[in-house]
Structure 1
């Protein structure tokens, strides 16, 4: 058994670091700073971070088959051209809810971009309840609302056989599962898969590994937990030197490294002094399991 090693590799001070995505072609890590309103790309070889500022809070970024990226920006799905730093709107949601913004998003195995909304935070993890929805952006740029009454739409991923969709509404303190029809992108039969324990914090971003297990970053819990979706049991906990762990993805050679984003949002000076690495990104090696490559938006 290899021993687990945790390194602080990206020294950004993100307000809310989120949506890490490994870009295999470039061998870089994409991520966003939601309220810092920027998309960032870190090159592990040069240790440089290049960022693009955007005009609204940015919930998530994903790869795009045709080049560039797709983003969930404010209440818009948009494309991002990395070369000239421009964004162009694909579709707008929640037009009747001016206080809403997109949060986490991810592309499904057929190249559709799923992303959910929430109301702007009053303070960290405190929001106007039931204001969010989960949306799907299809390759033809049509949008479907899957359901509403969401508090904080968060982590999402799919089972290896593509028959189950996993989803987190943070303030339910649970990871949910749905039946998934990969041909139509329809979800049904929602059920709780795992309920977080008191000390585990608030479930945030999530990813799947090559064994089909789920990894969930726990905001204010300073940890990432591994859950077996077959049994609904937690099987591993990895703790961090910062409280606000926000999301996770696999990357690096053979997807054998895990990258974990964090946040400084809501931390006072005393707390920041205690946790000087807050807002940065951590790399975990030695987990003994690999991830799977991210899917790219087909539109």
Structure 2
């Protein structure tokens, strides 16, 4: 049976991000956070009031995570990790320059490292799985991307290398009983599945979940999951988000004709049934922008018939 297709023409917020990414729903505050990596911004959107805005930072912010103590956000930066308190993300936002607390983490980058990219807290809440991406010249001979398990240790963080020889680390998720981790390696156009030990955080025994090589379906980027443990994969270069069943079948395609580079997605809203989708203008020509004028905007898709899973929050406090 052919997958169902849902078309969303209009964008929600017209920010035209250079590299919109990192969508994250805060169910406590009922707010959406996302980033413009190249624009060095964190955006905040409050659906209940329609208020939105952004704070600027002095370097790329690539990924976000919520904390269990509800004091702020963990952030992956281009060259490190940080804690950003909610006091530094006033809402509505101000024009004051934003500050953050750099976190002490002992990490040795692989040869060919470019910057941090995607990150996701594992189901235990004890580990923040953070990926890096290779320098453009590093592939395929020496792919410099890595995947690290970050955990709290005293006043700092420890980093354990889980995977190496990666291209661009991207979307992650876990199966129902936390025994398997999904991980996206974008330039290889694959989503892998790994045995995951929830007690130790170890990964092993990779198998391919999806390696769709179809220009119409684009390159896999960020992902989220619904409460049936389906995978929603944002697809760079195609204007689409694809839903995979847990068995790996494509059963639904969300098409955003006005965008091209779709980068991340997350369920939000009071009932976690609204799909928020980021996009990016990076890597597009003037002709492509003409054909996809909302590239770089934020979209919301309603009426999908699915509810999302709230992201796990990281255990630990960084206020002191």
Shared fold per TM-score greater than 0.5: yes
The partner residue of 1:110 within 112, 120, 124 is 124
CA distance in 2, matches of 1:209, 1:155: 14
CA distance in 1, matches of 2:102, 2:243: 36
Residue 259 of structure 1 is matched in structure 2 by 276
Residue 243 of structure 2 is matched in structure 1 by 226
CA contact (8 A) 2:107 2:158 kept: no
Residue 132 of structure 1 is matched in structure 2 by 145
Pair 169,256 (structure 1): closer, same or farther in 2 beyond 3 Å: same
Residue 99 (structure 1) shift: 5.4
Give the secondary-structure state (helix, strand or coil) at the position aligned to 2:176.
coil
Residue 288 of structure 1 is matched in structure 2 by 305
Give the secondary-structure state (helix, strand or coil) at the position aligned to 1:14.
coil
Residue 100 of structure 1 is matched in structure 2 by 114
Give the secondary-structure state (helix, strand or coil) at the position aligned to 1:255.
coil
The partner residue of 1:180 within 180, 196, 205 is 196
Give the secondary-structure state (helix, strand or coil) at the position aligned to 2:48.
coil
CA distance in 1, matches of 2:174, 2:281: 29
CA contact (8 A) 1:10 1:42 kept: no
CA contact (8 A) 1:70 1:77 kept: yes
Give the secondary-structure state (helix, strand or coil) at the position aligned to 1:9.
coil
Residue 129 (structure 1) shift: 5.3
Pair 61,134 (structure 1): closer, same or farther in 2 beyond 3 Å: same
1:271 paired to 2:288: yes
Residue 68 of structure 2 is matched in structure 1 by 65
Q: Structure 2, unaligned stretches of length 5 or more?
A: 89-97
Greater CA drift, 263-272 or 160-169: 263-272
CA distance in 2, matches of 1:169, 1:58: 20
Give the secondary-structure state (helix, strand or coil) at the position aligned to 1:272.
helix
TM-score, structure 2 normalization: 0.86
Runs (4+) of structure 1 exceeding 6 A deviation are: none
Q: Structure 1, unaligned stretches of length 5 or more?
A: none
CA contact (8 A) 1:157 1:165 kept: yes
CA distance in 2, matches of 1:129, 1:171: 13
The partner residue of 1:35 within 27, 35, 38 is 38
Where is the strand percentage greater, Structure 1 or Structure 2? 1
Residue 24 of structure 1 is matched in structure 2 by 27
Residue 146 (structure 1) shift: 0.4
Residue 192 of structure 1 is matched in structure 2 by 208
Q: Which has the larger radius of gyration?
A: 2
Deviations 1:53-108 (A, max 9, x none): 22222220111123110011013121112313322222253456585211111111
Give the secondary-structure state (helix, strand or coil) at the position aligned to 2:288.
helix
**RMSD, aligned α-carbons:** 2.2
Give the secondary-structure state (helix, strand or coil) at the position aligned to 1:138.
strand
CA distance in 1, matches of 2:231, 2:5: 20
1:77 paired to 2:94: no
CA distance in 2, matches of 1:46, 1:133: 40
Pair 244,39 (structure 1): closer, same or farther in 2 beyond 3 Å: same
Greater CA drift, 127-136 or 108-117: 127-136
Give the secondary-structure state (helix, strand or coil) at the position aligned to 2:289.
helix
Greater CA drift, 6-15 or 202-211: 6-15
CA distance in 2, matches of 1:96, 1:289: 39
CA distance in 1, matches of 2:22, 2:39: 13
Pair 222,94 (structure 1): closer, same or farther in 2 beyond 3 Å: farther
Pair 128,298 (structure 1): closer, same or farther in 2 beyond 3 Å: farther
